[in-house]
Structures are given as structure tokens and as C-alpha cells.
Structure 1
Amino acid sequence: MLRNLLWATSKHDVYLMQNYSVVHWSSLLKRGKEILNVAKPVVPTSKYPGSLAQILPRVQISTMTVKDNLMVAGGFQGELVCKYLNQSGVAFSTKITTGVNAITNAVDVYRNPSGSMRVMSANNDAQVRVFDTENFARLSCYSFPWSVNNTSVSPDGKLIAVLGDSTECLLVDAQSGKVISSLKGHLDYSFASDWHPNGQILATGNQDTTCRLWDIRNLSESAAVLKGRMGAIRAVRFSSDGRFMAMAEPADFVHIFDTSSDYAKAQEIDLFGEIAGISFSPDTEALFVGVADRRYGSLLEYNRRHYNRYMDSIL
């Protein structure tokens, strides 16, 4: 399963999926509060001219993200749900696609080069769709030859990494959808990607149990190959200062690399259970790991330990 079901907006604020809800967990107050409930029909409260808003039946959340006060969730039946954290109700909901391969595999919130906020969805129907956040109108729809499992937009908003059921990863022009480069080296399908904050390094996680690093100044081959312990690399995250990169396997293992050592120094977190997502806090002081195991489901917090540059568990 593709798992991006956990996002930290500060060291003390984490949003995670729990059954048919998205819950805000405060590590200061040590308690959670339901922010979004999709167990019942989802009714968008705002009416935007030209938008594709729909009332949705119960949504099983497949992926989510929280950025700039906007929470976006995707569903297993091709749904897209958008909610502003400072507003009650759902701002926008729709069913992107109704095909057999309808699952929304990934969602992203980003700003284009002019600073406008956009929502991007990647779907199993081999489509990538872009919506604005003014009236949630669909702006673009880009088609690819295989199911798209993940997208990530470069820090300057100009490039999209497109990954899916192919050994190749694509770099695509965000404005036109035109393929600029094909990244070759992985041996299986890809599921995760993230950009270093400097915009020069792209990390891609693959079923072949590796994460490859690509320098966009020289894309002829990957700059480095980082190995997991046992399983596919299903989540990849850089810290906002670019100092750390974390990657998660489907279960049991999270790896943290020190980017300043050319990724030579690493720490392995060995836990128990399926991993629902990983997220650094924006100040890079904490790493949160979601565990989706039915018996041992939990949220783990690891704090940055400055004297030896590694992360310290505070379970």
C-alpha cells in the first residue's frame, strides 16, 4: 500500500489518518482532536463557480498532505477532499475519476513560480491533475503511459517528478506537462520522491529496495544509491534545512541520512509494525513516524539530538 498518512506542521502539531478521520495530535497537550470525518457523506460547504465539487459517500483515505493551512486527502475510489484548517466544513470534494484504476495515490500542495497555490493529484488511471485553490477549478491534466504512484514538485515550482509503474522516473515541465528527462537506473516500480530544499537533488524510492539520488545538473545516471534493509522504499522526506533525509520501508525500518556527509552517515530506526508515513517538523527538531499496525498502532516522535547530530527517541 502507498502510505503518506502523516504530516507535521510544527514540532507540536501532527495530522494523521485514523480510521475514517484525520486527527490533529498536539504533543504539547498530549491529546488528539478530529479535524476531518469522512465516514459519513462529505458535503462541500463552499460553492465555487466552475468547480467540479461533488457530495461524496464515505471515503476511505489513501493519501494526504497538509501545507499552508490546507489539508488535502485522496481516496481509494478516486476522491479528492480539500479542507482549510481554520475553517469548519470541507471546502471542496470531488471524484476525480470513476475508472477501475481510480485510486488517488498521492496528493501535493505547492506554489507555482508566480506564488499561486496549487493542488496536484496522482492517480492509478495514469493521470496527473492540477487544481487551483481559489475556486478549485481544474487547470491541467497530464497523461502518462503507466499508473502514477507519486509526484513531487521542485522547490521553485517549475519541475514535477513523476513516478509510477515503470522502472523510469520522469522529470516534467510543470507548466506544459512536457517530459524533459527520463531517469534510468531503478529496477522496479517507484513509490516515493522528494526534493532537497536547494532544488538540485531529487530522491526517488523504489520497489527494488533502494532510494536513488539524482543531481538535476547531470541526469545521465544517479548520483548515489541508498539501500534499505528489507523492503521497498515507500516514503522519502528531506528536512526543511536539507540536513537530513529520511526514508521508510513498508514496515519496521526507517533510515535517516546526514546529507552533509554525502549520505555516508546514517541512523536506522528499528520499530515494529506497518509504517503509515514519516514527517519532519518544519524546524527539523523532530521526526514523526506513524505506525498503522492494528494491534500496535501509534505515533512515534524522535527528537534531534544536537551533540551527536542524530535523532533521539522519545516514545
Structure 2
Amino acid sequence: MSDDEQAGGVPIGSTSLPSSVDQGHYPTFNTGYSDFPTAPATASQTLHPAVAPYFAADFDDDLYTGGAPGGESDVSIFLDTWRGVSLRHPNSANVVGSKASTFRHIERPRTVDRKQLQGDRFDIQGINWEALETTRETARAIRENFAHASHGRNHLHLNLAKPLPDTDSFFRFRRMNTEHRAWIAHFQLRNVISATSQHDIYYAKGSKVMRTDAYNMRTSCLMDLPPVAGSSDAGGFRVTALTASSNTLIAGGFKGEYAITNLQSGVGAPPTVGSVTLSYNGIATHVHAFAHRTSAHTTAAFCSNDAKMRILDCETGTFTHTFPYARPINCAATSPDGRLRVVVGDCNEALITNAETGQPVETLRNHTNHAFACAWADDGRYVATGAQDSQIVVYDARWWRDPLRFIATEVACARALAFSPVGGGKRVLLAAEADDVVNVIDAQTFASRQSLSLFGAIGGMSITPDGGDVFVACCDNKVGGILGFERTGYGQEYGLGGLWRRDWKYGDQRMVQEEPAEWATDEEMRRDGRVVKGPTARSRRGLGLGKLIV
């Protein structure tokens, strides 16, 4: 992770960066680390355990400017830039109207729901593209071109990864609330939203964790976190990572702080706060919770920029393990049985580790840049990693040597990954890019996807435990908010058998045996405590019957 940090944790689109950045001059770093102490060649680019980090400072190979305040991902700046290009090339077919230069001053609707949508006159973010004398489709294409040019997207890295066709329809837009703005404390960290149901959506706003619901019936501040004793951050607790389960919410901070609150406790109960690390630049980059396989206690795995992973028993409040690595750790995911863990960080490889000892059991070398996202499916079989090389790599845990699929992202790199939960309907892999796109990938075939398209920097996404809803935090300074999408497909039985579908390898129709639709059989789901809805409710998913009163 880069040491260039956003000051104060402000919404994307702020203009509080130094003038050099405001003018479009971004710092660059040499990729050879020639100014740092010499380290063994094999260790300097790996995550393998070490006594201490090799370097006192950590600079990223490529500064990703799109998510920084005032960067190209800010929609108002994008439209203003596009307008300037249009004035220089007025005869182009892809110009934008004069109102684009004053877009930041338009009034925003408080909410947008599906009934209000009017195509280019009013899209899911309430943008009137007709008034801008263009179309949403044109804006999407122009913005993608701008993003690829400004982010230095290297297509040589994508020799194995292929873009998937956008042919699926797993979710549909339901509602957006423009008043709820998650804040991104560091431009590379995009896990600041977590939802446990339609009625319990949590997002980070500086030192606060806010709570709302899909219908905006209530909004409250769940936690207002003061500076932690011993922290070097005089500016307070800035939330960089967030996760929530049915009874516990866990937050990580910019200076290594953490906070835990019991969601079942009384209103106003203070959270438990402390420090994961007091190291300089010890950012809590990611946190995920899991049930310990022997004690069944809620356990948190904190990834940190000081190149260590720490395991916290949330019920006793004690750190039980510290696993040191050679490079900063950006994300991790524990297997459903609690035995293995995938770990990614500031190197080109991913590790499969023993979850109890931290020792690597497999090293996966299929990325060409630092990785920031990973996920483990509920069946224990599939693992996905995402990196700044604009690739998502999917593995079958039964055979790590050959990845199952290389998938190219659409606009920017994947910053957050999540598989749909067991009992959540036809299985999918969600991949939130840094800007504009959440990919919903068919996790039966990994051959097609649905693109949930929006405009603005993405602070993360969360799928509810029943698999019925996805919530996306758009952090743009003008068109940001929380967008909700709901499942559209019917509940499906585990085994679909043979289905007629087009085999694109040969281009003709033939009988192909589909993979199972769910992560577990119908009988297994009846006994699985992770499954939220019963078989009848699952079969009715997508029919719109949940709100009927009989």
C-alpha cells in the first residue's frame, strides 16, 4: 500500500490535496526499490513469513490516481474534462453539452427508486443525460477510455485474462439513497460497507459507523469512535475496514486501531476499542470475521500494513496469534472449515496458509501486480483473488496448480471480492472495481457476468447473508450514495442436470452438463446453520411475494 494517504478521511471528490495533484501532476515511484536496503531477491517480492518487514517504508509500484480526491474518478471533474475536450473537437460525434461544466452545482434527489427511472432522462443515480446533450451509454464509453488512459492500464498484463460477456441478469436496481455517503480513508482500501439484512446496512463515515436500511426508514450513528490511547493519529479514528455479522460489527482504523460492538446489546452500549498495532503506518487494511473451528467463538482476522496478520478472539478480547510476513497484507479470507486461509498483499503472489499457524501450504503466482482482494466460497472449493493488474483469478482448491479462470476487469482493478452465500440462489462471484462497476460473475461457469454499472468511486459492496440483496457504496462527491440491488432469479434446486446451452468453443448447440446451482444440496442446506431462508422462501426468491399480506 502506498504511503501517500488521504488527509482526514474525506468523501471522494474533495479538493483538499496539494496543488500539484489539483493540476494533474501525480507522484511516481521507481519500481526497483533501488533506494532501499538490499533484501534477498526471492523474499523481497513474497509474503512468506519473516521476522520483520524488510523495508522500513512501503511504496506502491503504481500510484492509482483514480480514487484520490480530485482524481479522474470524480464525476464532476470527468464531465468538466469531457466538456473541455468537446470544445476543442466540436465536430466529434462524442461531445457533451455545456451543462457538463456546471454539473457539480445541480441539485440531487434525496432518493431514487426503480419507479422513477426514465432512461437517459433519469438513471439509477438520478442523472439527466439528455440535459447534458448525450446518452448514458456514450458517457460510459468515454469514461472508460479516460480511465484506461489515466490509470495506465497495461493490456500486456491481460494476455491470459479475458473480459466476460455482459449477458446475465442476477440482480436489478431497487433504490438509491444519495444522503448516505461512505468515506474512503485510503484510496486503495474499499471495504467500508457491510450489510447483514435489508434492515441493517452499516457504512463508515470518517470516525463514525452509520446504520441505515434499504428503505431509509431510519438512520443512526452506531459508533462515534474517539482516538485510541497510544495512537499516533491526532485526527481521531478513521475507519479503513468494516465487517458485520448477525451479532458483531468490527472496524479497523487508519493507525492500527480496532473497535468491536455487539449488535445484540442495548442501544448506546459503548464499543470495545483498542489497537491492532502501534507501528508507524500500521493501517488496518482489512478485517473479516469467522467462527473459530474449535471454540466456535466469533474471531476476527486483521490484515495490517505493518506486514502482520493478527487473530482476535472477539468474545474474550484477546489476540491469540500474530503471523509476520515479508510484505504488507492487504486482504485475507478463511475457508469455511476454518483450516486454511488465502492471504494477499503488496506482492504478485497469493498464499494459501494454515489458518492456525500462518505457514504457507501453497504459493499462487498468477498476478503481475499487488493484490488487494480475495474471497473463499461457502462450499470450500472455490477461491478468487483480485489485483492491480486488472485481473481476477479463480482457483479450484482441489488443484491449485492450474487456475480455473483468468477474468479481466472492465474499468479499473478489483478492490473487493465476495461469493454469494450458501442458500443465496444461483451462485455468483461479486467483484467491485475501484470505480464504476460491480461485476456479478456466474460462479457455475465463470464464463459470463452481469455488470452493475454506475458512476463514481466505489467504497465497497456487500451481499446479505440470504443472498437476496447487494448494497454498493458509491463515494463520489456529487452522485454518491448507497445503491441497492435485489435478486431477480427464481430459487433453483441444487442439481440442474443437463441443459441445452451454446458451447462457444465449437459454436453449436449441444447437451452440456451444468455445474450445481447452489453451494450445497437441498438436503445439506436444510441442516446448514449458515442458510438464512427455508426452502419455500428460497423457491419464491425473485417473485416479489415477500411484501404480500395474506
Same fold (TM over 0.5): yes
Matches within 5 A, 1:233-244: 233-241=414-422, 243-244=427-428
Residue 252 (structure 1) aligned to one of 426, 436, 452: 436
Aligned to 2:245: 67
1:222 aligns with 2:406: no
1:10-159 alignment, distance < 5 Å: 10-38=197-225, 40-41=226-227, 58-87=236-265, 88-114=268-294, 115-159=296-340
Query: Where does residue 267 of structure 1 map in the other structure?
Result: 450
Measured against aligned partners, the alpha-carbon deviations of 1:221-243 in whole angstroms (never above 9, x if no partner) come to 21111110121110101111361
Separation in 2 of the partners of 1:24 and 1:193?
A: 26
Residues 278-293 of structure 1 mapped to structure 2, 5 A cutoff: 278-293=461-476
Shift of 1:42: 5.7
Equivalent of residue 460 in structure 2, options 277, 302, 311: 277
Q: Measure how far apart 1:23 and its partner are.
A: 1.1
Deviation of the 1:29 alpha carbon: 4.9
Letter in structure 2 aligned against 1:140: H
- 1:308, distance to aligned residue in structure 2 (A): 11
Q: Deviations over 1:28-67 (max 9, x none)?
A: 45331110112x3469xxxxxxxxx99x962011111001
Structure 1 counterpart of 2:18: none
Residue type of the alignment partner of 1:295:
K
Q: Report how far residue 272 of structure 1 moved.
A: 0.7
Contact 2:287 2:301 in 1 (8 A): yes
SS in 2 for 1:135: coil
The answer to whether the 8 A contact 2:305-2:330 is kept is yes
> Which amino acid letter does the alignment assign opposite residue 100 of structure 1?
Y
Distance of 2:300 and 2:417 partners within structure 1: 20
- Aligned-partner Cα distance in 2 for 1:307–1:95: 45
Instruction: After superposing the two structures, state which structure 1 stretch, 19-28 or 172-181, moved more.
Output: 19-28
Q: CA deviation at 1:284?
A: 1.2
Q: Which amino acid aligns with 2:201?
A: V
1:118-161 superposed Cα distances (whole Å, 9 cap, x missing partner): 11100001000011122211100001110000011111111111
Paired with 1:97 and 1:285, the residues of 2 have a C-alpha distance of 37
Amino-acid identity (%): 28
Offset of residue 214 of structure 1: 1.1
Q: Is the 8 A contact 2:427 2:442 kept in 1?
A: yes
Aligned length: 301
Mapped to 1, the partners of 2:457 and 2:464 lie a distance apart of: 21
The one-letter code sitting in structure 1 at the alignment partner of 2:199 is H
- Matched with 1:182 is 363
Tell me: CA distance 1:292–1:202, structure 2 relative to 1, closer, same or farther (3 Å): same
| Equivalent pair of 1:82/1:90 in contact (CA under 8 Å) | no
Structure with higher helix content:
2
**CA distance in structure 2 between the aligned counterparts of 1:192 and 1:84, rounded to whole angstroms:** 26
Query: In the TM superposition, what are the counterparts of 1:190-209 in structure 2 within 5 Å?
Result: 190-209=371-390
By percentage of residues, which structure has more strand? 1
Distance in 1 (CA, whole Å) between partners of 2:321 and 2:204 is: 28
Relative distance call for 1:201 and 1:295 in structure 2 (3 A) is same
- Give the Cα separation in 1 of the matches to 2:275 and 2:414: 28
Q: Which has the higher contact order (CA 8 A, sep 6+)?
A: 2
| SS of aligned partner of 1:94 | strand
- TM (normalized to structure 1)? 0.89
The letter of the residue matching 2:396 is D
Aligned to 2:192: 5
- Higher Rg: 2
In structure 2, what residue type is equivalent to 1:15?
Y
Q: Matches of 1:108 and 1:90 in 2, distance apart?
A: 21
Distance 1:28 1:292 in 2: 19
CA contact 2:411–2:436 (8 Å) conserved in 1: no
CA distance in 1, matches of 2:219, 2:228: 21
Matched AA of 1:22 = V
Q: CA deviation at 1:203?
A: 0.7
